[in-house]
Amino acid sequence: MKKFYYLSKFKIQSIDLKNYRLKFLGLVFSIFAASLVLISGVVYIYSTFISPPKDLAEIKSENELLKGKLNSLLVNYKDMESKLDSLHSATKTLRVTANLAPIEESQRTMGFGGKVAGSISDVIAGKNPDLKSALDSFDSISKKFEFEKRNVSDIQSAFSKNIQMYKSIPAIQPCDGELSENGFGMRMHPILHTLMMHEGIDIVTDVGTPVVTSADGIVEYTGIKSGYGLCVEVNHGFGYKTRYGHLSKVLVKEGQRLTRGTELALSGNSGLSTGPHLHYEVSHNGTSLDPVQFFFTRTNLFSSK
């Protein structure tokens, strides 16, 4: 194996160079590592600071694309807001139909949970007007949508209540026959011969004529009542009640639910009566009313038969 020597200036003699291969490889590796770090640094500096045009162009292109989408979104928001305004015009008419009080225009934009965009819109106000405009439009639409959703819900609820109320109003003559001259109001009682309030009307008809309920309701009382003979009383809700007197037979039970036109009894001549007829009363919140004022038609319009 060959030996290598180098001349020492201090010892003025040749010295044997031991393990030269290992030392040479270490020196080569060190030079390579330093070169690799240097090259990487140069590439990073060049790509980041010296040559960014390609990346910058891509960013600008993406920004333009996003801006176009934002403008398209803003147009859609405006279109949605226009449709919400049209819906509001329709619901104003529906509120009148449902017998609901009109609402102030300012109520549409009042807070339903606060501003949607929050502080974000304020932060970007001076930086991106298009984005701020989109967020403000979204905020306005959200409030109007919440308002209309509640408005429609109120209208639906009112209509449902009105439908039930209309079913509960005594609207038909409860049996066939002719109205007696002894109508609603003060009169001389035909049997007692005393001036008394006649709180209903008399319908002259044969014994056994079907008597129907004049509105939806629940049977509140069946039985004998002084002066009325055999009678039925129905609670229709919403303050309305009806009474059917001088009956010959009752066909329903207390607590039974009835719909308008349901047969509940047969007419007769029971109690203080001068002849076969039906005594019929209507009251609202305890006040007697003239039943004739409620007659929409005779029994056959609403009858289930």
Rounded to an integer, what distance in angstroms lies between the CA atom of residue 284 and that of residue 290? 11
pLDDT for res 95:
81
Longest dimension (CA), the chain: 163
Rounded to an integer, what distance in angstroms lies between the CA atom of residue 256 and that of residue 171? 20
79 DSSP assignment: H
pLDDT for res 212:
96
pLDDT by position in tens, the chain (length 305): 555 444 444 444 444 445 545 555 555 556 656 666 666 666 666 566 555 555 667 777 767 677 667 667 767 767 777 777 777 777 777 787 777 877 776 665 554 444 444 444 454 545 566 666 666 767 777 777 778 888 888 888 888 888 889 999 999 999 999 988 777 766 665 655 676 777 899 999 999 999 999 999 999 999 999 889 999 999 999 999 999 999 999 999 999 999 999 999 999 999 877 889 999 999 999 999 999 888 875 544 444 44
pLDDT for res 114:
47
pLDDT for res 14:
46
Distances (CA, A) of 201 to 94, 155, 290: 38, 37, 8
pLDDT for res 50:
56
Decide: pTM greater than 0.85.
Answer: no
pLDDT for res 26:
58
Residue with tokens 């066939």: 176
Residues 193, 196, 200, CA angle at the centre, nearest 5°? Answer: 115
pLDDT for res 143:
78
